[in-house]
Amino acid sequence: MAIDKAPRGPRSRARIVRWIVLATVLTAITVIGYLHQVLAVNKPQGVDALCPFGGLETLASFITSGVLIRKIAMSSLVLLGAVLGTAVVFRRSFCGQLCPLGTLQEGFGAIGRKLMRGKRLTMSKSLDRVARLFKYGVLLGFLSITWATSTLVMRSYDPWVAYMHLTTAEVAEYAFGFGVLAVSMAGSMLYDRFFCKYACPMGAFLGLISRFSLFRIRRNAETCIDCTLCDKACPVNIEVSSADVINSAECINCNECVNACPVKDTLEISTSGGTRLSPVAMTGSVVAIFAAAILLGSITGDFSITKPTLAQESGSAAGQGNGGGEGSFLDTGLIRGSTRWNEITEATGIPAETITDIFGIPADDQSRALKDSTELYSVSPGEARAWVDLWQTDRTAAENYVPGTLLSEDHEE
């Protein structure tokens, strides 16, 4: 069934501010994802290390053993803290005010609305109610397996991971995620916030927390004229016009209902004690909470946009000054497909000339990632890792090593 959506409401300034924030976050994270694919030096962190859900995925491992699961950095935990901070105060405001995947869905939703002349599709209420439970299954399923195995099992299915690898040469690796991304965007052209409503585990998690949040949207029934513009404006189909307080875990705190309401002060963002905020002030507060968490994380060294080098990772894994160079012992489990040869030199003190002598890789080509050396120099990341192990335990054997004789399972990133 198709329904008409609300026309633009009286608070277009709040809408513009929200859209500027959403577009800025989406642009910034897209650029970071692109630079992660193309830069060799000062490379930004990968998508997993800059995703608050990554913080949730690594939480069990971090709490029980102090170790982050592979591909996750402390930055994810800082972002998780920021999201939790916004959720405690403003419910699912991360979804409605910041989330870049939400912004993409709203963009595709706008295209769908243009094509369908302002109309949107709705599901039958019973089917919709059941379908919305799916995201809780996604949360429970992926989180319990991730916590039990300390592996990012959701990665291959994650549409956001796929989006952040749009420019990678290894598209096939993210094929399933691209499929989920395509279905989510096509779905959003017909149904607002399709992925948020039915499949997002982060949204499901924040929905559970939102039960305890401070601010909610409240309706003043005395001044309400029952025009139902708020219902039509709501992307997640909440019947705002018949509620006194929006308690639904589905509310993404986009404030579109407040912005659409034609009667002043009839819909407001407030606490049970009567503290009120305008939609613009709420957007500003959400941004401020996020900025404060990132600033604090940067000061303590727990948040970094840039990927640490192998020597830095090795130093922090050892918990003290094992920061690389001759005599440093490197945990070779930190060597990945994306590690560069010159990072190995920096972290272990293995001379560049030795790498040239053994594997035939010229010194000026050692800024190449291990995974990119496989085809050119016939040395896989697994062999490189095994050889570094040998160097650290039997220097003479490593110096006389014959390439191709030490093979171990590859470890790509």
Rule CB under 6 A: which residues touch ligand SF4?
96, 217, 219, 224-230, 233-236, 238, 240-241, 246, 251-257, 260-261, 263, 266-267
Cα–Cα distance for residue pair 410/381, rounded to 1 Å: 6
Q: Do 101 and 164 contact (CB within 8 A), yes or no?
A: no
Pair 362, 319: CB distance under 8 Å: no
Least CB distance from residue 231 to ligand SF4, whole Å?
A: 7
- Residue identified by tokens 């939703």 is 109
Question: Closest approach of Cβ 143 to ligand SF4, in Å?
Answer: 24
CB of 252 to ligand SF4, least distance (A): 5
Task: Measure the CA–CA gap between 130 and 125, rounded to whole angstroms.
Answer: 9
Q: How many residues does the chain have?
A: 413
Rounded least distance, CB 100 to ligand SF4, Å = 18
State which amino acid sits at residue 130. V
Strand pairing of 276-277 and 267-270? Answer: antiparallel
The answer to whether the Cα torsion of 334, 336, 339, 342 is positive or negative is positive
Which of 184, 255 has the CB closer to ligand SF4?
255
Nearer to ligand SF4, 14 or 350 (CB): 14
Q: Minimal distance in Å, beta carbon 278 to ligand SF4?
A: 14
Between 223 and 272, CB nearer to ligand SF4 = 223
Comparing CB distances to ligand SF4, the nearer of 28 and 263 is 263
How many C-beta atoms surround the C-beta of residue 404 within 10 A?
Answer: 10
Instruction: Please provide the DSSP assignment of 293-309 as one string.
Output: HHHHHHHHT---SBPPP
> Shortest gap between Cβ of 116 and ligand SF4 (angstroms)?
19
- Token pair 């779905």 is found at 187
Q: Around Cβ 128, how many Cβ atoms within 10 Å?
A: 15
Q: Which lies closer to ligand SF4 via its Cβ, residue 32 or residue 199?
A: 199
The residue among 15 and 411 lying less far from ligand SF4, judged by its C-beta, is 15
